[in-house]
């Protein structure tokens, strides 16, 4: 088992090992390619990558795509006072990033696993409340309890194993997420899918049922159904992806990605069935 800290029971900084958490095990692995970098696995599945002391370093491409989309809506030179809700905690990689990019932001991270939340606070340089608050709870229940119009950005990055729990993908939940967004806000989701892209298409159709504007970001091999991977889907009541710099940023990354505007996103969905609580 991993090294334990004295007294409080928290780890004394990150140390390689397997740690018991409320939902199973968390494994912390040192990334030999980057000093101070760590990979967090939850029950054997890659969850987060963190470089201690470098919050602006995002190793997972889909997180870079999310960050690029957010920054196209809210330029960092304005230092926006964003109110961000993260559904799914892990090692709080994106929360650390946005805290560095938007020092006035106030973020809440919802993590269902109480022990994992405790561990990552001890391991990593996550800003303290009120900048970043980690709240233990179930993502849907917390979202449905929040005040209407209280967030600018809702990010859903929740996985149980390699898939998102079905109750967090439905029309009913998407409406709950929409309710807590202020005008101009963005609902941003990470959809993990197979080459068939059945779930991604259904998620795009579902989000499009609630939001007037939908955009999709993924790399070309994923969009062509050649591999398992991540599809980022965004919904908003204001136009998405109109900034030409966003498309250039996405194409210029280590893994070049395409941006599907609302028209192309609708074609991608292709009449897929909407996900609902009462149906499969």
> Over the stretch 85-100, which tens digit does the pLDDT of each residue have?
999 989 999 999 999 9
User: Does residue 2 register a pLDDT over 50?
Assistant: no
The pLDDT confidence band at residue 197, using thresholds 50, 70 and 90, is: very high
| Whether the predicted pLDDT of 11 surpasses 70 | no
According to the model, what pLDDT value does residue 154 have? 98
Q: Do residues 151 and 182 touch, judged by C-beta distance below 8 A?
A: yes
Region of poorest pLDDT, from 128-132, 184-188, 238-242: 238-242
Q: Is the pLDDT of residue 84 over 70?
A: yes
| Terminal alpha carbon distance of the chain | 40
Token pair listed for 72: 């196209």
pLDDT above 80: residue 256: yes
At residue 228, does pLDDT exceed 80?
yes
84 neighbors 105 (Cβ within 8 angstroms)? yes
Mean pLDDT, to the nearest integer, of 211-238? 96
Q: Contacts by 13-17 with C-beta closer than 8 Å and gap 24+?
A: 13/122, 13/123, 14/38, 14/52, 14/123, 14/124
Residue with tokens 């919050």: 55
Q: Is the pLDDT of residue 68 over 50?
A: yes
Tell me the average pLDDT across 8-28: 85
Predicted local confidence at residue 79, as pLDDT: 82
pLDDT in tens, 158-193: 998 889 999 999 999 999 999 999 999 999 999 999
- For position 241, what pLDDT does the model report? 84
Residue 28 CA to residue 225 CA, distance in Å, equals 31
Asked if residue 1 has pLDDT above 50, the reply is: no
Proportion of the chain above pLDDT 70, given as a percent: 95
Beta-strand pair 151-156/83-87 = parallel
Mean pLDDT of 256-269: 96
Pairing relationship of beta strands 17-21 and 24-30 according to DSSP bridges: antiparallel
* pLDDT at residue 12, as a whole number: 65
91, two tokens: 């090692």
pLDDT at residue 118 greater than cutoff 80: yes
Architecture of the structural domain at 59-269: 3-Layer(aba) Sandwich (3.40)
Q: What's the whole-number average pLDDT of the chain? A: 93
Give residue limits of the domains in the chain: 59-269
């Amino acid at each position: 088992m991993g090294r334990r800290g004295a007294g409080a029971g928290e780890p004394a900084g990150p140390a390689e090992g397997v740690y018991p958490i409320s939902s199973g095990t968390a494994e912390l692995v040192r990334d030999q390619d980057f000093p101070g970098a760590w990979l967090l696995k939850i029950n054997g599945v890659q969850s987060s990558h963190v470089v201690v002391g470098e919050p602006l370093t995002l190793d997972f491409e889909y997180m870079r795509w999310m960050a690029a989309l957010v920054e196209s809506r809210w330029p960092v030179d304005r230092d926006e006072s964003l109110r961000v809700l993260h559904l799914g905690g892990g090692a709080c990689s994106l929360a650390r990033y946005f805290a560095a990019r938007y020092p006035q932001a106030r973020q809440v991270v919802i993590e269902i696993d109480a022990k994992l939340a405790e561990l990552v606070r001890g391991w990593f340089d996550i800003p303290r409340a009120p900048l970043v608050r980690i709240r233990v709870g179930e993502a849907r229940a917390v979202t449905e309890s929040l005040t209407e119009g209280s967030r600018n950005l809702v990010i859903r990055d929740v996985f149980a194993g390699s898939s998102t729990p079905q109750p967090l993908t439905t029309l009913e939940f998407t409406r709950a997420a929409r309710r807590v967004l202020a005008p101009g806000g963005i609902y941003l989701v990470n959809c993990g899918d197979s080459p068939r892209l059945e779930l991604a298409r259904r998620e795009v159709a579902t989000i499009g049922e609630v939001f007037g504007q939908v955009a999709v970001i993924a790399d070309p091999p994923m969009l062509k159904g050649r591999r398992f991977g991540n599809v980022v889907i965004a919904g908003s009541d204001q136009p998405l992806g109109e900034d030409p710099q966003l498309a250039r940023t996405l194409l210029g990354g280590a893994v070049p990605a395409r941006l599907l505007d609302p028209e192309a996103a609708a074609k991608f969905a292709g009449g897929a069935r909407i996900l609902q609580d009462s149906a499969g």
